[in-house]
Structure 1
């Protein structure tokens, strides 16, 4: 909504979060990144899809944080999860076989083929990490 002479009453980030949350209305499980993806997934769980199971890269499955986590290692995720598994188990048992419906991750590092690296951020080739 706008008033004459003012900008929108929401930010572009908020608009993306709301639209992303709406896109999760039919999902069963979501692999969640921190930041905008986490905000969108938690908004979806609280509005459009209360049964949405949030799975964080740290191994927190079914997390229901009462506040937005600061990182994938935020204790709030483990404290509110149905289960916490090791990262290798999460990737080998949950992600690789396709047990996750959708992933919402931030673009911390994308390669030239649009592959996302969710576990390690490096500097450009030839530069020290």
Structure 2
């Protein structure tokens, strides 16, 4: 079956949640991937949304984190302060999904401004709960389309800390979680090097070359010696995904 790049990203995101108990979900591709995981291979996955829904089971993709359907299908509803003070900051959420307007070689994320903060070219939506998610969830999966506009040498503003300036940065800042462990793009998957913490291309999607991924990156992207190819979506995964999107 043929498929689109966004479908590959959503399926790969869902696969990352095979053994996860609780996931903090944003809107867009993160929500699609998390809901697909719950429909296909992880029925017990607890979806937590920033507005307070815990254990939401939406029959369709929510329009926002405040979609009433999330509250109607949730196991429990908590206040936003409780979500962060009790669930996120103490590390009770295993996986957090984040997007990015800019991402650098150490997986630091910018969703605040493009350009100078005092006189930006573009004012972005801002932080929301992303800094706490990046700091305290057990691990973070970033889902973002890969281009030199997004994958930059240095982000214009660090909204959410990834791996700071390299080894030991998170520990020095007292951050609880592992930080970004995977960056899923429309070209492949990047993972932090275990020693340098710099993102390395470890997988490409079918039909994509390492040269294409490097050309879409604003720094000298390192490529794993044993570069792998991700498994294309199965017919069952695509059917479940398309039914979810069409609902």
TM more than 0.5: yes
Deviating more after overlay: 34-43 vs 102-111: 102-111
Give the structure 1 partner of residue 44 of structure 2. 51
Report the structure number with the largest CA radius of gyration.
2
Three-state SS of the structure 2 residue aligned to 1:18 is helix
1:93 aligns with 2:93: no
**C-alpha distance in 2 between matches for 1:42 and 1:116:** 24
Which protein is richer in strand relative to its size? 2
Aligned-pair distance for 1:74? 0.7
**1:80 aligned partner:** 73
TM-score (norm 1): 0.81
2:47 alignment partner, SS class? strand
Structure 1: segments with no counterpart, 5+ residues: 2-8
RMSD of aligned C-alpha atoms? 2.1
**Cα shift readout 1:62-93 (whole Å, capped 9, x = no counterpart):** 00001100110111111111111111111110
On the 8 A contact 1:17/1:39 being kept in 2, the answer is: yes
Match of 2:118 in 1: 126
Question: Shift of residue 16 of structure 1?
Answer: 0.8
- Number of residues paired by the alignment? 119
Asked if 2 retains the 8 angstrom alpha-carbon contact of 1:21 and 1:41, the reply is yes
Tell which has more relative contact order, 1 or 2 (C-alpha 8 A, sep 6+): 1
Give the structure-2-normalised TM-score. 0.44
Q: Which residue of 1 aligns with 2:53?
A: 60
Alignment match, 1:10:
3
Relative to structure 1, the CA distance from residue 10 to residue 76 in structure 2 (aligned partners, 3 Å threshold; closer, same or farther) is same
Work out the CA distance in 2 between the residues paired with 1:82 and 1:100.
16
Aligned partner of 2:28 in structure 1 is: 35
SS at match of 1:26: coil
Return closer, same or farther for 1:84/1:47 CA change in 2, 3 Å cut-off.
same
Q: Greater CA deviation, 60-69 or 107-116?
A: 107-116
What residue ranges of structure 2 are gaps of 5+ in the alignment?
124-247
